[in-house]
Structure 1
Amino acid sequence: MDEQRDAGAGASAAVRLLWGPPPGKPARGPKRGLTLEGIALAGVGIADAEGLGAVSMQRVAGELAVTKMALYRYVPGKAELVALMVEAAMPVPVPDLVPGPAAAELAGGWREGLAVWARELYEGFRRHPWLLEATVGARVMGPRELGWMERALAALDGCGLSGAEAMDAVVLVAGHVRGIAEQERAAAGSAGAGPDAQLAAMLGEVMRVHGERFPALGAALASVAEHGGQDQALEFGLERILDGLGLLVSRRAGGGGGRR
C-alpha cells in the first residue's frame, strides 16, 4: 500500500511538472530563479555526455551551481527529473498529415507519414541514446511525447483501421525503431562499425573454421561483404512493416476482414 501511495504521489508530481497546475489554481512554488527548462537541460547535457546513470540530483545541482536541497524545491526527485529531461530532449512533433479522411491525399499519405515519423524518432534516439532507457515502462508522458503518438495515429486516420489496430501499428513501428537504435547503441565505440559489420567481424574466425556447418549464414555474410548491404536494417524492416500495414489498409478499404 505504501508503494502504491508513493507511486501515485510521484505520478501526480510528474503531471504537475510536465503539464502545469490544474486550470483555475494559481501556480505555487519557489520564486523564479532556476527554471524547470534549465534544470532539464542540465540533466540532458550530463546524460548526453555520460549516460543516464550519471544523472543525479546532486550532479545536476552542481551543474547549476546550487545546493541539492535548493534543487528539491523545484523537482521532488530523480524520476521527475528524468521525466523533464525526456520532454526537453524530444523534438517538437510538427504534424506531417492533417487528421481526417483527407489525410491520404496529403504529404504522400499514411505510409509516407509513418515512414517520416519513424525516421525522425530514430534520429532522436541517435541524438540522445539515453532516451532508450528513459522511455520504457509505465510513466507519465509530457506534451511532446504524447504529441509524437498523436502524430503517428493522425497519419493513420481515415485508413479504415480500428483504434486498437492503429495503436498496435504505431507500437510495431516504434518497436522496430527502438530495436535498431538499441543495436546501434550497443555497437557504438567500435571504430564506427555498425551491428552487421561487427557481427561479421566477430564471426570471421569461427566461420573460416566452421563455415561448412552454417552455409546459409556464410552466404549471407559473403553477400553483405560483396555488395555493401550491411546496416540497412532500419529501412528494410520499416518497409516490410509498412507493406504489411498496406495490405491491411487495402483489405479495410475493400470491406474485407473484421475490426477489433
Structure 2
Amino acid sequence: MADEHAEVARLLWGPHPKRARGPRPTLDLERIARAGTEIADAEGLADVSMQRVAAHLGVTKMALYRYVPGKAELVALMADAAIGPCPPPEASSGGWRGQLEEWARLLAEGFGRHPWVLEATVGPRVMGPAELSWLERAVAALDGTGLSGAERMDAAVLLAGHVRAITQQARAASPEGSPEAQLGVILGDLMQAHGERFPALTAALASAARSGGQDQAWEFGLQRILDGLAALIDRRSRTR
C-alpha cells in the first residue's frame, strides 16, 4: 500500500522522468486522464479499466503501462484532472461566509459534472494539486476569523461532507424528481398507513407539504453550517 501511495504521489506531483532521446512519446498523463474521464463520464467508474483506456487511446495495454502502473494510479490521475483547480474567489464574494457559499456551490457543480469523482475520492489517499487547491481556498477563506488551523480544516471538511451527501442523494434519485420530493412521497404514503405511531414526523411532513418547504436540504444544511461557524467566530472575537 505504501508503494502504491508513493507511485500515486509521483504521478500527481512529480518529478516525472525526463524523456530519453528518440521518437516523441505518443501519450502523456494528461491525455490518459482525459481518456479515462471520458469513459467514466459516459459509463461510470466501474467500466474504466486499463484495457478500455488503452483502446480509447488507440494503443496497447502494455503501452499504457509504460505511463501508469495500474488502475488505482489511473483513477487518481482522472479524479484530480476532473476536479480541476479551484477557481479564485469572485470579487463579489464578500467575506468568509460569501466565499464559502460560493466554494460549496462550485464544488457541487463539479461533482454534478463528474459524479463518479465521489466514488473515486473516499478514504485515506494521496490528493493531487487540483484537489488540494479546493481545500486551500476553503481554509484560506477563514483566515483572520480567530478560528484555529484545526478548526478551519474541520470547517472545510464539514462543508465538503455536506456537498458530497447532497450530491450523492441527487445522483441516486430517479429522473422524475429531487431526492427530497421522492422521499416525501414515500414517507407520506407510510404515514397515511402508520402515522399514529410517528406523530411528530407526520406533523412535520404535513407542514412541509403545506408550506412548500421540501427540496431545501441543500440550502438548509449549507446555511446552518455557516450559522454555526458564524456563532463560533463571534464567540472567538469576544474572548480575544
TM-score by length of 2: 0.92
Of residues 6, 12, 15 in structure 2, which corresponds to 1:18?
A: 12
User: 1:28 Cα shift?
Assistant: 4.3
Report whether the alignment pairs 1:186 with 2:158: no
Q: Is the deviation greater in 73-82 or in 29-38?
A: 29-38
Aligned to 1:101: none
Q: Is the 2:12–2:129 contact (alpha carbons within 8 Å) kept by the matching residues of 1?
A: yes
Residue 114 of structure 1, CA deviation: 0.9
Residue 152 of structure 2 corresponds to residue 166 of structure 1: yes
Q: How many residues align?
A: 238
Q: Provide the C-alpha distance between the structure 2 equivalents of 1:229 and 1:91, rounded to a whole number of angstroms.
A: 34
> Which residue of the partner structure matches residue 83 of structure 1?
76
Runs of 4+ with deviation above 6 angstroms: none
C-alpha RMSD of matched pairs (Å): 2.0
CA distance in 1, matches of 2:103, 2:68: 31
Q: CA deviation at 1:198?
A: 1.3
* Per-residue deviation, 1:31: 4.0
Deviating more after overlay: 224-233 vs 42-51: 224-233
Partner residue of 1:214?
Answer: 198
Contact 2:188 2:205 in 1 (8 A): no
Q: Provide structure 1 residue ranges, at least 5 long, that are not aligned to the other structure.
A: 1-6, 99-105
TM-score by length of 1: 0.85
Q: Whole-Å Cα distance in 2 between the matches of residues 119 and 88 of structure 1?
A: 19
- Secondary structure at the aligned position of 1:70 is classed as helix
Query: Alpha-carbon deviations, 1:189-219, whole Å to 9, x = none?
Result: x233111111122234322222222222222
Give the distance between the partners of 1:55 and 1:123, measured in 2 at CA: 22
Q: Which runs of 5+ in 2 are unaligned?
A: none
CA separation of 1:246 and 1:204: change in aligned 2, threshold 3 A: closer
The answer for the alignment partner of 1:62 in structure 2 is: 55
Structure 1 residues 118-175: Cα deviation after superposition (integer angstroms, max 9, x where no partner): 1111111111111111111111111110100100011001111111111111111111
1:13-71 deviations in Å (ceiling 9; x for gaps): 2122111217xxx5247942112111111111111111111111011111111111111
1:8 aligns with 2:12: no
